[in-house]
Structure 1
Amino acid sequence: MNSSGVASRRTAPRVPATAYFGVGAIFHYLGPAFAVLLFARVDVLGVAWLRIVSAAVVFAVWRKPWRLVRQLTPEQRWVLCWLGVVLAAMNAAFYLAIALLPLATVGAIEFLGTIVLAAVGVRNGRNVIALVLAVGGVVVLTDIRFAGAPLGFVLAFANCALFMLYVVLSHRVANSGPSGIDQLGAAMLIAAVVTAPLCFYAAPAFTSPVTLLAGIGVGICSSVIPYVTDQLAMARLRRATFALMLSILPAVATVIGIVVLTQVPSIQELAGIALIVAGVSVHQQPRETKEK
């Protein structure tokens, strides 16, 4: 094991899992908020490519994730491949969505899939209430803006489905075999290969050092800090607990949207986001997913 792996093991127990989650929650939307500002200089898909590739380079230099391939079972390798594909598609869909809709709206819709999955796994009154609240919140949000940006909502719902897959796959990675962070780095390298054709959309960044550095910063803020802290949190929290804590993310997205992008939500939008937050808070994960 390399020295950074030893250090992370020694440090992790001293830091509460909730602290890792809190840091990840902030950067989960702070990075995309910076990305929205970058859309004026680089195409949306180009920014998504810069995010993925810069994160992949950081993981490659820091963790050298290709060294763990021999340690993985064929099943674990398939999980990594799927996680890489999901990361690529999720990042592209998310950025395309926030180019058309407010960050808070996309951030709220992102969590509908988690509630739907829980409702399918545990058919009880609690999850029915959670699903009704969340669907009600989404209806309120879509009623406001659907006529103006239907494609934005298609992309937001696609991101929602992909985010659900990300949570499931990354939780498996965090609790199986070698270091979850090393496996995450390998998945990010796969995502970089999958998105290679998008490099042409990032052409303006290649002639502007400032723009290129901004794109790299977006990648570190969006795909290194939050994903690493997610892994550190998920390795020490039951999936049900982690899913419950996710309920604060739509609120974080709203605050960051206001502060960084001056996207001030209306009362109706706040009501829709509040309903989704309530649904995420109420829902109950399937019993078998509660074990680490």
Structure 2
Amino acid sequence: MVMVYVDGTPGRLPRRRGLGEIAGRLLGSVPPTGLLLGGIISVQFGAALAKGLFPVVGAAGAAGVRLAFAAVVLLAVWRPSLRLSRRQWLVVLGYGAVLGLMNLAFYEALQRLPLGIAVTIEFLGPLSIALAGSRRWLDVLWALLAAAGVALLADLGGGASLPGILFALAAALCWAGYILLGAKLGEHTAGGSGLAIGMAVGALVIAPFGVAEAGSSVLNPTILLIGLGVALLSSVIPYSLELEALRKIPPRLFGVLMSVEPAVAALAGVLVLGESLRPAQWLAIMCVVTASAGATYLARKR
């Protein structure tokens, strides 16, 4: 349960506590594989929706709007206390900074690359976590199978933008840090309090880039409404689900399970953005889904 410090108004205490309690209980009742699958679907369809904002506010502007709305929603839901220890603040600040930079780098890559390719390259982050922490040969097998799917989906010989690839690699590095720091955040904070503060930190980190690129365009009501939807789909829902999952499974297994991410991204590109998939990419989907299913099976055996 999140410890909430209120302003002395007794009548408001049940509402503040109740919302966090309900959210915590709902998340706690879902198996980790279900949490991750829900988060993956949400974040990829949110990314497809966010791409529609780029012509108006740019990649940095879209990332800024997303994190700002996400921070407001999470702070309202969890009402976190700022009375954290020095160790807790270090974890929260590190998590928030990595979270903000990951979103900024990914949106910059998404502006230059198809959704499936951007996510595929970004996936090198969790894949490296899976390989580095592996102690069983079957874990390595699932990771390698996922890597084969990643290679098929990437198809970097198709005129992909070099700056886009570099931004995607930067996002991959941040994603690896996000996984490791997310596990620490789950250990040092309760409920979604650390996530709420971290999201606010991330929004502040990338705010200068967003304001510089978008300017007053972000104040358009339509942009704000779409931005709220993107924030819910791409940040509030998936990060809450992933943080809860990281409390139940080790970072290594988390990275392997996330192998389904490029496949869902490619499907979101088809359904929302009208991007086409070639036979090799459908084969890639089979590879990553199989890897995810195998990793899930091993998780139940442990």
Q: TM-score, normalised by structure 1?
A: 0.83
Q: 1:111 maps to what in 2?
A: 123
Q: 1:51 maps to what in 2?
A: 66
2:78 equivalent among 36, 56, 63:
63
Deviation at 1:60, TM superposition (A): 2.3
Percentage identity across paired residues of the two chains: 32
| Corresponding residue SS for 1:41 | helix
Matched residues in 1 for 2:164 and 2:293: separation?
26
Q: 1:179 maps to what in 2?
A: 190
Distance 1:281 1:218, change over 3 A: same
Distance 1:8 1:219, change over 3 A: closer
Distance 1:16 1:129, change over 3 A: closer
Q: 1:246 maps to what in 2?
A: 258
Matched residues in 2 for 1:241 and 1:272: separation?
20
2:232 paired with 1:220 = yes
Distance 1:61 1:124, change over 3 A: closer
Matched residues in 2 for 1:15 and 1:143: separation?
36
Q: 2:178 maps to what in 1?
A: 166
Matched residues in 2 for 1:97 and 1:273: separation?
21
User: What letter corresponds to residue 4 of structure 1 in structure 2?
Assistant: L
Contact 1:115 1:279 in 2 (8 A): no
Deviation at 1:237, TM superposition (A): 3.4
* Structure 2: runs of 5 or more not aligned: 4-16, 297-301
2:209 paired with 1:194 = no
Matched residues in 1 for 2:132 and 2:37: separation?
28
Distance 1:251 1:132, change over 3 A: closer
Deviation at 1:87, TM superposition (A): 0.8
Q: 1:6 maps to what in 2?
A: 21
Contact 2:120 2:154 in 1 (8 A): no
Matched residues in 2 for 1:250 and 1:235: separation?
24
Q: TM-score, normalised by structure 2?
A: 0.81
Distance 1:40 1:110, change over 3 A: same
Contact 2:122 2:171 in 1 (8 A): yes
* Structure 1: runs of 5 or more not aligned: 285-290
User: What letter corresponds to residue 202 of structure 2 in structure 1?
Assistant: A
Aligned-residue RMSD, C-alpha: 2.9
Contact 1:51 1:215 in 2 (8 A): yes
User: What letter corresponds to residue 35 of structure 2 in structure 1?
Assistant: Y
Q: Which moved more, 1:10-19 or 1:187-196?
A: 10-19
Contact 2:130 2:253 in 1 (8 A): no
Matched residues in 2 for 1:221 and 1:123: separation?
34
Deviation at 1:44, TM superposition (A): 1.3
Matched residues in 2 for 1:151 and 1:130: separation?
30
Residue correspondences, number: 282
Matched residues in 1 for 2:292 and 2:125: separation?
10
Distance 1:13 1:45, change over 3 A: closer
Q: 1:288 maps to what in 2?
A: none
1:82 equivalent among 72, 94, 98:
94
Matched residues in 1 for 2:168 and 2:269: separation?
16
User: What letter corresponds to residue 48 of structure 2 in structure 1?
Assistant: A
